[in-house]
Amino acid sequence: MKILCVAEKPSIAKAVAEHLSGGRSETRNTRNKYIKNYVFDYDFGGQPWGNCTVTMTSVLGHITAVEFPSEYKDWKHPPPERLFDAPVNTVIADDKKDIAQNIETQARYSQGLCIWTDCDREGEHIGHEIREAARKGNAALTVKRARFSNIERAHILHAARHLIMLDDRQVNAVAARIELDLRIGYALTRFLSNNLKSLGGPLANLVISYGSCQFPTLGFVVDRYFRVKNFKPETFWSIKVKHKKDGIDVNFSWLRNRLFDRASVVILYERCLAAKTAVVTKVQEKPTKKWKPLPLTTVELQKMSTRFLRMTGQQAMTAAESLYNKGFISYPRTETDRFDKGMNLRTLVQKQAQDNRWGAFAQNLMNGGFQQPRDGRHDDKAHPPIHPITYAGPSAALNEFEKKIYEFVVRRFLACCSEDAKGVATDIDILYGEESFHAHGVIVLERNYLEVYVYEKWTGTAELPKFTLGERFEPHEAMMTEGKTAPQAI
């Protein structure tokens, strides 16, 4: 029996072929310089196929596109609103015809088709495109789909033995989104461009494009720009109290925070000075903790990369995609922030024990420190959180961005498998004159996950001296301060 396997990208096809063939595949060129066909024998285990001859190939993402018929492509006629009910054609893109032809040709000699696209909606639709191209060569093909989220060998072999059906509901959802993007984008781009041409000047020859995501985002950016530009700062005043006890400086903050009337603050400040002494009205000590991070999602990876690694979101995703294709991390596009209870996370932790940076921490987890990661609220039912698959040692061929992302993913994963940081929080309230002030401090007792997750600090870790309820003291310093309001940060 002959089976045609098709992946979403060449690197995945090569990796899957390597695992399924045990490194004994025959490589054949195609008419597209990026696409190779890998031929080998593999036993699928009898559901629905057994021992088969496999041809593994790939596409380069989507192979089809949607477009309007030629009579709707004139910008002057018909009017833009007609594009909302105009017919739409699905065509194979010119630069993808060789790829589609390769699939059609290989399908003629096959009895089954196995789709190896990413396990998300977009991957499901690409799988549908592959199925339609293959059926042009053989309409009687049995079609199955492999569900996988990384290209670790054991995971790929498990996916090959547990094939599922293509989800046509997800296919239809993506198809609807693609058609809506076409109709809305074309209609509004044409409407904006045609109407702004009449203003002349630089707009006369420009195409003012509209995108369902980028155009509203531009609106948010412009709105934020004008809010900042038109912001008028206001002057405010506050009172700060400082005291030194047992060699420790304590800063007490005013519970009113700030007032915008200087005369009122002057009166309150003078009453404080007239009182001379402050009295402790509250002393509270209680255990506290800093929660370990949730499992890593795509949005969190981009945010943290920008904040801590000095990388743009695009640079971070490019590096993460490369690491995924090389088999070092799981699929990096996921909304899931909770691990499936059936995943063997300890095995993944053990693989990191050999590293000289975080290996000792990983080994400590294996020696009894391992804790199940926290469960977030999101699960896209397609991919697990981003996590390391295998160890990338110093000899791994990674560029600087890939090294940074890999280290972040590993440290984040190990932090998830550790304990929360633990400490003691102390709160002191005082009454100075008729005004209340507050001081807060934290003593860190057990750093735990903070030992490996170097990107995060426990802020506000000031140590406070010992105060007793009802204690009176004369503050070393009390001052009235002035400041100005600033635009709210995004």
Q: Give the whole-angstrom CA distance, residue 140 versus residue 159.
A: 23
**Element containing residue 150 per DSSP (H, E):** none
**What confidence score (pLDDT) does residue 123 get?**
93
Of the ranges 273-277, 297-301, 324-328, which one carries the lowest mean pLDDT score? 324-328
Q: Which fold has domain 2-172?
A: Rossmann fold (3.40.50)
- Tell me the pLDDT band of 267, cut-offs 50, 70 and 90: very high
**What confidence score (pLDDT) does residue 343 get?**
85
331, 406, 432, 449: the active-site residue: 331
**Residues in the chain, overall count:** 490
Q: Please check the confidence at residue 105 and state whether its pLDDT lies above 70.
A: yes
Give percent of the chain above pLDDT 70: 99
The structure tokens listed for 18 are: 């390597």
Average pLDDT value for the chain: 93
Q: What digits encode the pLDDT tens for the residues 281-314?
A: 999 999 999 999 999 999 999 999 999 999 999 9
**What confidence score (pLDDT) does residue 32 get?**
94
Do 145 and 123 touch, CB atoms closer than 8 A? no
Per the annotation, the verdict on 331 as an active-site residue is yes
Query: Which one of 2.70.20.10, 2.60.40.420, 3.90.960.10, 3.40.640.10 gives the CATH number of domain 235-292+421-484?
Result: 2.70.20.10
The structure tokens listed for 331 are: 């699929």
For residue 254, give Cα distances in angstroms to 103, 194, 237, 434, 436. 72, 59, 11, 11, 6
Q: Give the whole-angstrom CA distance, residue 275 versus residue 351.
A: 64
CB atoms near residue 37 (< 10 Å): 20
CB atoms near residue 389 (< 10 Å): 23
Instruction: Return the higher-pLDDT residue of 299 and 149.
Output: 299
- Tell me the pLDDT band of 460, cut-offs 50, 70 and 90: low
Of the ranges 162-166, 343-347, 359-363, 461-465, which one carries the lowest mean pLDDT score? 461-465
Query: What mean pLDDT comes out for the span 159-171?
Result: 95
**What confidence score (pLDDT) does residue 288 get?**
92
Of the ranges 170-184, 247-261, 380-394, which one carries the lowest mean pLDDT score? 380-394
- Tell me the pLDDT band of 459, cut-offs 50, 70 and 90: low
Q: Give the whole-angstrom CA distance, residue 455 versus residue 181.
A: 39
- Tell me the pLDDT band of 490, cut-offs 50, 70 and 90: low
DSSP per-residue string spanning 39-108: EEEEE--SSS--EEEEEEEE-SS--EEEE--GGG--SSSS-GGGGGSS--EEEE-GGGHHHHHHHHHHHH
Instruction: Return the higher-pLDDT residue of 198 and 296.
Output: 296
Give percent of the chain above pLDDT 90: 80
**What confidence score (pLDDT) does residue 50 get?**
92
Q: What digits encode the pLDDT tens for the residues 386-437?
A: 999 999 988 899 999 999 999 999 999 999 999 999 999 999 999 999 999 9
User: What is the CATH code of the structural domain delimited by 298-416?
Assistant: 1.10.290.10
Report residue 118 CA to chain centroid gap. Answer: 16
Report residue 169 CA to chain centroid gap. Answer: 25
Any idea where the domains of the chain sit in the sequence? 2-172, 235-292+421-484, 298-416
